[in-house]
A and B are shown apart, each in its own frame.
Chain A
Amino acid sequence: MAISGPFNAHIEAERLHGSRGGFPLFADVSFSLKPGAALRVTGPNGSGKSTLLRMLAGLIRPDAGKVTITGHAPDAAPGETIHYLGHLNAMKPQLTVAENLDFWLRFSGGAAAEGGWEDALRRVGLSRVRDLAFADLSAGQKRRVAIARLLATPRAIWLVDEPTAGLDAASTVLFETLIAEQLAQGGIVIGATHVPLGRDEGWQTLAIDPATVREPVAREALAP
């Protein structure tokens, strides 16, 4: 796939160790992604996919190892390079779809996409519901609005956690198209998912296998 686009960020994970509530989840996770690369994180429930994604976003500190993101302004906040879409949609139920998207567009740093959030909402096929309260949408529609947030402010790296949960078949295909566009622009997509997220062969797979981690690892033992 030809890469031409504004993004030029690299993300590198070096020997990441993660745990949840003191229970070790994964150890020695390393990878390096170039512009246009896509990584699928797979593993059974509770294996630490979400923890890894939140670690990459900077919301959780790794027990050991480090995450390096290069290719953006050195003083840029993680939020200006990374879009994180977790299990929650980060939208206020009391506000309308338009108010929610408009807020995130204005609040987040960085340039807005051409066409603003209106265009992003049109691309996920939800222009009709722009004046409905977010609480009144169906689960799938809520997810699509959350995806529209990713489109409204272009950012190099997408970290998406079960992004297609609740989406119907047509919307899933639509999201795959959006991911392909993001990759074609030189963006990076890392997705934790049980389902394939793209039709392309370009995806790398990182399987987290809980069986590889047996003993709790002491923080000190891992320090370089």
Chain B
Amino acid sequence: MKWKVFWAFVKKEFYHITRDKRTLLILFGMPIAQVLIFGFVISTDFKNASIDFLNHANDETSFELIEQIQSSENFKIGRILYADHELEKGFKDGTSKLVMVIPEDFSKDFYNRNPIEIQILTDGSDPNNAVTLTQYITSIVGSFQQQKLKIPENPQQINIETKLLYNPKSISAYNFIPGTIALILMIISAMLTSLTIAREKETGTIEILLVSPLSPLLIILGKVAPYALLSFIDAILILVLGFFVFEVPVRGSLILLLFCCLIYVITSLTIGTLISAVSKTQQDAMMRSLMGLMMPSMILSGFIFPLTSMPFILQVLGHIIPTTYFIEILKGIMLRGVGLEIVWFPLFVLFLMILFFLFFTWKNFKTRLQ
């Protein structure tokens, strides 16, 4: 009997979903679009950044250096400048990312091994890119020096060899695929569920549902079950997309990964039902989930900005957001290939959050209208 009612509910919910183009678009269009956009557009790997030169030397060695820089894939030559006052020109009209100033007597000082100061100017309005580009250019200049002067490996010199573990090529997809999974699951589970319950309130159908022998628990379960299933499908969709398009691996246990997704989906669903319990209209529910959930999940979860460099209060806020823990779990399992022995803590936090939100939903859910 209970199962029959539950099934009727799930069926009805699937009718709603499949007959509404907007919902379908959010469900399947958004994850795909978001992964592809993050993947192809927002890339922190540089290609063909435009660099300007102010060459005071105009000698052979300086031309060789410029050629070396140009031959790397990272840079292309913008313009050649002739005077100091032109330095900022490229930055101002937005065409240049970098300016290199080569001092006079470059060749002479270079081969006499005198100290040389090459000046690099970058656009500080975009600090992350500026730092990355400076690193690129430093390494190019370094290898140029080594080649030309044929400096043997100096036994007294400390050479630092860096290696990016788990992501040797520094591919940004390794960061955003876990982040996107976390965000999408949050959007679908929390926002869509809160919207669908708010819609019943808005259209008045909740009145009929309440004036029926259905228990509130059954109403909620019947409403969230389809979204739980669809979020799960989305999680798999993004994993597959990440694997085949951006070569993001799953190094740990897939079963554990999916189990963690399930726990996170349940966390988001409980938040969604809590939001809907306090919202009267769909717009209300939408605003609450966007402002109260999506924004913090995106900004404070460590997905875009590192949490550790935030002011203390924001770090605290970041640690009450489920997404923070889920991204931690995802990165652990997918990239570092760790198992339950490491991810048990964030998983445990998610469990606690479920209990917490369930308690409040239960406190807030009314068997009546008011």
A complexed with B: no
- Measured CB to CB, the residues of A under 8 A from B are none
